[in-house]
Amino acid sequence: MAVALLVRRYYVRGVTPRTNLLKLVIFILLIIASSMGTSAYWGLNPRGWIGYTITIPLWFFGTMGIAVFLPQERTPKVWGVPLVPWFPSLSIAINLFLMGSLGARTFIRFGICTVIMLVYYIFFGLHATYDMAHQQIKTESSKSPEEDGVKQSGP
């Protein structure tokens, strides 16, 4: 979800220049890779600290790169996540760290649950989303201008 939030906030198809899209992809990959590196180092050498002097600054520079070099293409109208891109980037780091600290059996159970939820979404949730979108289109096209809040001119 945090990666999706960053993409939604910093990328708009047809508006965002290709160079900014490339920068966004590179910075997000840097955030993810450094977060995975931190988790891997914790698992391999929990009492060490040298690995963190590499992975944590990489995470920081990836996040700083988004904050400094990329303009936000969308801003929330009512409410949005504060301190973007810092909170989403921290969320990515924490979630990958937690996933990396799972034991093998737990990770297998996590994978099985994820597959079950994806199958459910593909067969039921996606269909329900499609039906709701088409129902809204039909409802909006059947509204009269007065119902839609549009004033008509004339006598």
Burial bucket for residue 111 (CB in 10 Å: 0-12, 13-18, 19+): exposed
Q: What is the pLDDT of residues 113-137, one digit of tens each?
A: 999 999 988 888 767 666 666 666 6
Q: Does 25 score more than 50 pLDDT?
A: yes
Most confidently predicted of 13-22, 97-106, 146-155: 13-22
Where along the chain do its domains lie? 2-101, 103-142
Q: Which token pair is 101? A: 């600290």
Q: How confident is the model at residue 150 (pLDDT cuts 50, 70, 90)?
A: very low
| pTM higher than 0.75 | no
